[in-house]
Structure formats: C-alpha cells, structure tokens
Amino acid sequence: MSTPTTLFEKVWADHVVVPETADTPAVIYIDLHIVHEVTTPQAFSVLREHGLPVRRPDLTLPTLDHSTPTTPVSTFKDLLVAGEGAADQVRQMERNCEEFGLDLLGYGSGRRGIVHVIGPELGATQPGKTIVCGDSHTSTHGAFGALAFGIGTTEVGHVLATQCLLQRKPKTLAVNLDGSLPHGVGAKDVILAVIGRIGVDGGTGHIIEYRGDAIRALGMEQRMTICNMSIEGGARAGMIAPDDVTFEYLHGRERAPRGAGWEAALARWKTLRTDDDAAFDRTVGIDASSLTPMVTFGTHPGMVVGIDEPVPHSDDASFRKALDYMQVEPGKPMSASAVDVVFVGSCTNGRISDIEEAANVLRGRKLADGVRMLVVPGSEMVKAEAETRGLDKIIVAAGAEWREAGCSMCIGMNGDIAQPGQLSVSTSNRNFEGRQCPGARTVLASPATAAASAVAGYVADPRKYTSQERNLTP
C-alpha cells in the first residue's frame, strides 16, 4: 500500500522534472504562468539579453491590471492620468507581448482584468495545475486545488525561458474550519480570523490546506478570497481540494476542457484530495460557528478583531507604533472610528459575488456625508456581468463611483489613492503603512462591512444592514 499523501504532495509529485537533493532544489514544471506589466519588464529584458524566446506562449497568460487607470480608457493618451511611468510600463508590456508572440488580454479584449480574477473566470485555472505569477496573491488559484504561488521577477524570467522553477518542497499546514458560519459572516471574515490566529508569519515555509465543513459550504469565489490571503499569513500557497462546487464553476468556461477532454479531466481532478491518514507538519483548528465580522485595527492583517471587540492592549513597541499610525486606542472597538474612504474591489474581493454583496447593502441607501466610495470590478467580465444585473445602478444611486477593472486602490499605483491621514475601509488584502497612500490608514473588511461602513460613516457591523435571507451567490 502506498503512503497516504496530502493534496499538495500529489500536485507537487506530478510536477517534479528533477527531484530535489540535499544540495539542490527540485526542478518543478509550471502549467500556467500569468504575467502583468509591473513585475515582468526586467524579465523580458533578460530573455532579450540571452536571445531566448518564451518557451511556452500557450501556457502564458498576459494581462494589464496593476498600473492601469480605472477611469474610462479609450485611447492611450488617457493612460497619462496614472503618470508617465505607468503609461510607459503598459506600452512596454504591449511591445513585449508582440515581440515574444504572447496573446495579451489587454484593452479591447473584453477579457482584461486582475491576474487572479481572470485566470479562474476564463477557466484557465484548474485543479492539479501548477500556477505562478509575479504577484504574491497568486495563492488565490489554490481554491481550485491548484498549487499556486507568487514569484519574483528573476523567477518570472526562469519560467518564461524554461517553463520551470527551482523549488524546495515546503512543509504543510492544515487549517480545519468546522461548523457553520453565522449569518453575516463570510469568507473575508474567515481568513482574517485565520491570520489573526496563526499570525502574519505563522505560515512561513508552509503550504496551507483549508479543510472542513465550513470550507465545503462555500462557493468558489469565497474559497478564492480565503486562499488569496494565505500569503498574509506567511504561506506562499493555500489550497482547497476540488469538489462538485469546483467542477460546476469550471464547466463550460472559455479555457476549461470540453467533451471527452472534460470527462478525462474530471476523472483526474476527483483524485485530488488529501488521503484520510495523510499527515500534515502542523494543524490548526477553528470553530467557524464562533466567528463574527472581522476588521483590522493595525498595520498588518494579523492585527484583527471582531467588529464588537475592543482593540487589545500590548506593550510591544511594534504594536504601539502600529496603533499610533492608525490613531486607534486600545480598549475601544473599531466601530468608534469615522470613515473617509471605502474601497470595494481587488483580487481578494473584486468578483461578482463581492460586488453583489456590497450592492445588497447599498440598495436604497445613501453614502454618509463626506464619504467617498470606489467600487472597482476585478475584470472587464465582472464589470459586464454586474451591469447586466443592474448592480452598477444601485452603486451609483447610493453615491459611490463605479469604475473600470483593475487593482486600483489596493496598491494605489494607478492614481486611485486615499489621502494622508484618511481612514479607508477596504476589501483588499493589505493594511500596511502607506499601502493606499503615505499616511493613509487602512481597515481591512468584507464587502458587506465596507458597504455598511460607507452608509454609516463609521466602521459598521454589516449584520445591521443585511437580512437573514440575503442572496449568497457562489
């Protein structure tokens, strides 16, 4: 009988080109390489210096997302709004794709969007694949049972040139979420609670597998939200074993297998699960039924509390520095904080169900005086779908801005930024100092909490704004 193995070990073993030794890392094959304008120019330059082609253009998926404006774009002149550097980077990406024979999902494609939104929605992200991108939130794709992680620009060059990477096999961490989530508590609250538990470095050197009833009960977009923030707990990758929810999501998508190919893929995908007796290097258990809506209070995603809970006390110097930056007092809940800006979007929460979750709170309501709210779809396809459902009208009627697809205020590279000192409730993934503008104070939260906060004018409990029967689309 063969040794029981984890989901991660199965996908890893399937992609070993050269096994690792004590002195050398493994050579691992990459099935899908997603590329964007910010972390690739220097990698294409290396190919050019060595006179090398892109080895597998068919396994390379390029798009534009990080430095693109979210105001309407019809000509490249408009790109200047984001600054000359950003415009250069976009033009450089277009030239690189043309020179190296890559099919860029750029302007006019109707398929452009955030790297971690378009991979899944096109059906390019599939169970059992190895997926990399020069972006740490590549962990998102693990929601499908893929092994997906972020890489640096030098490694982007390695994959472009060889379709392989040098990797040491990481350790495994099981995060078990049992029980059912209470009303008003969603995937974003789950992952913030997980990071609060394990800490921002708790997953360093590990791959997380999220398991348990509470995970099984989630739709694919919610699972993506969870895997997306694995890196905020220090883990390069997070995975969820594929099941019928995964297969139903993928069926019929543009780049998913079809016909006999679909049946063969399905048979293979169904084997991608952790064996009953397989061992993890570490295990953490969380009772999902005990969770509440979560908000961050500090300057990393591990500094997080329930919406009703007081901000904790600590004498640690780094902790106190974070609270000073945030202008937050220990002992008080975050709901005491006035809000200036609200951002709904990003690779964490920029999908159709996220936009809908925010719109359900905004429906028939108005933003509080003085609050600015940006709702930024994760892709052109998400934007079109939201408009088909009429969500854009609800958002605009509430007084929020409905923008073009992109990373936007999550990283603030494109001109979408908060102002110094402003408090921003954001559905993105990082509340680091200066992330949304030097001096801006970011509170991470779910789309429902973000929308409720926009309406209330202070950090607000979404349960007061949503009915028990609210629509939870997968």
Residues 316-341 as b/e (b if ≥16 CB within 10 A, e otherwise) read: eeebeebbeebebeeeebbeebebbb
Kindly tell me which residue out of 50, 74, 276, 469 binds another protein, with binding defined by CB under 8 A. 50
Position among 103, 201, 308, 324 found at the interface with another protein (CB under 8 A): 201
Angstrom distance (rounded) from CA 362 to CA 340: 17
Among 36, 112, 116, 129, binds another protein (CB under 8 A): 129
Using the minimum distance from each CB to another protein, give the nearer residue, 135 or 356: 135
Q: Which residue in the set 395, 411, 425, 455 belongs to the binding site for another protein (CB under 8 A)?
A: 411
Q: Can residue 317 be called a binding residue for another protein (CB under 8 A)? A: yes
Residue 432 beta carbon to another protein: minimum distance, rounded to whole angstroms: 4
Per rule CB under 8 A, is residue 19 in the interface with another protein? no
Longest distance between any two alpha carbons in the chain, whole Å: 67
Helix-strand-coil split of the chain, %, nearest 5? 40, 15, 45
Contact between 69 and another protein by CB under 8 A: the answer reads: no
Nearer to another protein, 236 or 273 (CB): 236
Q: What is the rounded distance in angstroms from the CA atom of residue 441 to the CA atom of residue 460?
A: 16
Other CB atoms within a 10 A radius of the CB of residue 24 amount to 11
Q: What is the rounded CA–CA span in Å between residue 177 and residue 272?
A: 19
CB of 447 vs another protein, minimal distance in Å:
22
Among 71, 109, 204, 292, binds another protein (CB under 8 A): 204
Containing H/E element for 156?
Answer: helix 153-162
How near is the Cβ of 198 to another protein at its closest, in Å? 12
**Closest CB to another protein among residues 296, 353:** 296
Q: 389: which residues sit within 8 A by CB, 6+ positions away?
A: 352, 356
Q: How many residues bind another protein (CB under 8 A)?
A: 75
Q: From residue 189, give the alpha-carbon distance in Å to each of 44, 210, 331, 439, 451.
A: 39, 14, 21, 25, 15
Hey, what are 161's tokens? 């040139």
Rule CB under 8 A: say whether 403 interacts with another protein.
no
Residue 432 lies near another protein (rule: CB under 8 A): yes
Task: Identify the burial level of 448 via C-beta atoms within 10 angstroms of its C-beta, where 0-12 means exposed, 13-18 middle and 19 or more buried.
Answer: buried
Residue 453 CB, shortest distance to another protein, in Å, is 23
Q: From the centroid of its chain, how far is CA 17? A: 29
Q: Which is nearer to another protein, 206 or 383 (CB)?
A: 206
Q: Does residue number 433 form part of the binding site for another protein (CB under 8 A)?
A: yes
The answer to whether the CB of 278 falls within 8 A of the CB of 261 is no
Q: Report the residue number, 129 or 273, with the smaller CB distance to another protein.
A: 129
Q: Which stretch binds another protein (CB under 8 A): 166-174, 186-194, 215-223, 365-373?
A: 166-174
Q: Tell me if 92 contacts another protein by CB under 8 A.
A: yes
Q: Specify the residue, 52 or 217, whose C-beta has the smaller distance to another protein.
A: 52
Closest distance to another protein from the beta carbon of 449 (Å)? 22
From 403, 408, 419, 414, select the one nearest 82 (Cα to Cα): 414
Decide if residue 321 touches another protein (CB under 8 A).
yes
Contact flag: residue 430 with another protein (CB under 8 A): yes
| Cα of 408 vs its chain's centroid, Å | 13
Stretch that binds another protein, among 20-28, 110-118, 369-377, 398-406 (CB under 8 A): 20-28
Q: Is 67 in the site for another protein (CB under 8 A)?
A: yes
Segment 225 to 244, residues that bind another protein, using CB under 8 A: 231-232, 234, 236
- Rounded distance between C-alpha atoms, residue 145 and residue 209, angstroms: 9
In the complex, the smallest distance separating the C-beta of residue 152 from another protein, rounded to whole angstroms, is 4
- Return d(Cα 285, Cα 190) in angstroms, integer: 12
Sites for another protein among residues 335-394 (CB under 8 A)? none
Q: Which is nearer to another protein, 135 or 461 (CB)?
A: 135
Write the Ramachandran bin of 313: left for phi over 0, alpha for psi from -120 to 50, otherwise beta.
beta
Residues near 393 by beta carbon (within 8 Å), at least 6 away in sequence: none
Nearest residue (CB) to another protein, 107 versus 465: 107
Q: Is 283 in the site for another protein (CB under 8 A)?
A: no
- Contacts of another protein in 24-43 (CB under 8 A): 24-25, 27, 29, 31-32, 38-39, 41-42
Q: If binding is defined by CB under 8 A, does position 62 make contact with another protein?
A: no
DSSP-assigned beta bridge partners for residue 164: 29
Q: Which of 60, 89, 172, 449 binds another protein (CB under 8 A)?
A: 89
Decide if residue 318 touches another protein (CB under 8 A): yes
Q: Report d(CA 381, CA 374) in Å as an integer.
A: 18
Binding mask 251-270 for another protein (x = CB under 8 A): -------------xx--x--
